[in-house]
């Protein structure tokens, strides 16, 4: 097949993909914990993968934020096909990151690098339930939420649970709860234990995990020895169509244990 020729599959890539029951793994040499270049390479692979997978016509690409995707986004160059319209949307609103790491910012960056367009979803962090509910009735917000529901592609990373909880300034009480529930991984604002079971979800609008299962193109980008456990936990129940873009350091650590 064309994908096979393009990305060739190394033995460890096949082994990791089989282990997780997913379509494909792409493994970059090195350790993204130590080398920024590895994250650039994630970006190049993501660019090629999007370019070869996404169909002509309208694509709606839902993006999650974080340092990995924000840096990988800078490598997009191949998506400028005139046959394809790329609309980038943040996958979920307001899960608590600094501005440059937010899904809104990364969507804008990706759009700029691929002749695409983007929409933003501004949902402030600290809102009363009443304000939140009325905000969700705003036409501008409803419009973006409808687009998110029509996404045919999602790009996300995977983080370590407690690290993400601290970075997003979750309360002491919530962090204690995550510890008690043995949360090890975080993605999409969901927290997972080492069996890949959801133990907590940040209550925010946008893409929900059950919707992700129906999205045809899913790219998970995460590496580094420090994330091995988190990647393994999330990937246990990841949708089969997921492509995992990772590095040798994480892959070796995971394959050592299987
Ligand atoms: O959900 C996962 C996090 O967004 C990962 O963040 O790329 O900064 O490690 P990171």
Which pLDDT does position 92 carry in this prediction?
87
pLDDT at 5 over 60: no
Ligand 1 atom, smallest distance to 221 CA: 7
Ligand 1 neighbourhood includes 187 CB (under 6 angstroms) = yes
Cβ of 104 below 6 Å from ligand 1: no
Which range, 93-97, 135-139, 220-224, has the best average confidence (pLDDT)? 220-224
What would you report as the CA-atom Rg of the chain, rounded to the nearest whole angstrom? Answer: 17
CB of 102 sitting under 6 A from ligand 1: no
Name which residue leads in pLDDT, 203 or 152: 152
| Per-residue pLDDT at 133 | 83
Residue 124 has pLDDT above 80, yes or no: no
pLDDT category, 100, cuts 50, 70, 90?
Answer: confident
Q: What is the pTM of this model?
A: 0.94
Q: Which of 19-23, 32-36, 97-101 has the lowest mean pLDDT?
A: 97-101
Q: In this structure, which residue's CA is closest to atom 9 in ligand 1?
A: 159
Q: pLDDT at position 205, please?
A: 83
CA-67 nearest atom, ligand 1: 8
> Ligand 1: which of 67, 183, 228, 235 to mutate, judged by most atoms within 8 Å of the beta carbon?
67
Q: pLDDT for 33-84, tens place per residue?
A: 999 999 999 999 999 999 999 999 999 999 999 999 999 999 998 887 778 9
142 burial via Cβ count (<10 Å: 0-12, 13-18, 19+)? exposed
Q: Is 158 in the pocket of ligand 1 (CB under 6 A)?
A: yes
What pLDDT shows up at residue 101?
Answer: 87
Protein residue with least CA distance to atom 6, ligand 1: 66
Q: Is the pLDDT of residue 151 over 90?
A: yes
* Mean pLDDT, rounded, for 124-146: 84
Answer yes or no: is the C-beta of 97 below 6 A from any ligand 1 atom.
no
**Closest ligand 1 atom to 188 CA:** 1
What is the pLDDT, as a whole number, of residue 147? 96
pLDDT of residue 125: 64
**C-beta 230 within 6 A of ligand 1:** no
Could you tell me the pLDDT band of residue 8, with boundaries at 50, 70 and 90? low
Of 62, 165, 222, the one to substitute when testing ligand 1's pocket (max ligand atoms within 8 A of C-beta) is 222
pLDDT of residue 135: 84
pLDDT category at 153 given cuts 50, 70, 90 is: very high
Q: Is the pLDDT score of 109 beyond 90?
A: yes
The finding on whether 68 has its CB within 6 A of some atom of ligand 1 is yes
Q: Confirm or reject: Cβ of 109 under 6 Å from ligand 1.
A: no
In whole numbers, what is the pLDDT of the chain averaged over residues?
A: 92
């Amino acid at each position: 097949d064309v994908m096979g020729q393009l990305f060739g599959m190394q033995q460890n890539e096949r082994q990791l993909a089989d282990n997780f029951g997913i379509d494909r793994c792409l493994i970059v040499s090195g350790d993204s914990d130590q080398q920024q270049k590895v994250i650039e390479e994630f970006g190049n692979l993501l660019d090629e993968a999007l370019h070869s997978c996404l169909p002509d016509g309208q694509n709606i690409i839902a993006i999650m934020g974080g340092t990995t995707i924000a840096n990988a986004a800078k490598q997009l160059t191949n998506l400028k096909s005139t046959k394809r319209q790329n609309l980038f949307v943040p996958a979920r609103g307001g899960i608590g990151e600094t501005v440059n790491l937010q899904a809104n910012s990364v969507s804008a960056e990706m759009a700029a690098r691929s002749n695409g367009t983007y929409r933003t979803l501004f949902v402030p962090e600290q809102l009363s339930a009443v304000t939140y509910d009325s905000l969700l009735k705003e036409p501008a917000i409803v419009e973006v939420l409808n687009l998110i529901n029509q996404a045919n592609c999602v790009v996300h990373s995977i983080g370590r649970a407690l690290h993400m909880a601290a970075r997003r300034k979750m309360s002491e009480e919530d962090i204690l709860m995550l510890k008690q529930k043995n949360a090890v991984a975080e993605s999409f604002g969901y927290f997972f234990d080492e069996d890949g079971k959801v133990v907590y979800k940040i209550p925010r609008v946008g893409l929900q995990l059950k919707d992700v299962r129906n999205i045809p193109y899913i790219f998970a980008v995460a590496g580094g020895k420090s994330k091995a456990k988190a990647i393994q936990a999330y990937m246990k129940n990841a949708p089969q169509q997921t492509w995992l873009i990772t590095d040798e350091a994480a892959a070796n650590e995971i394959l050592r244990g299987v």
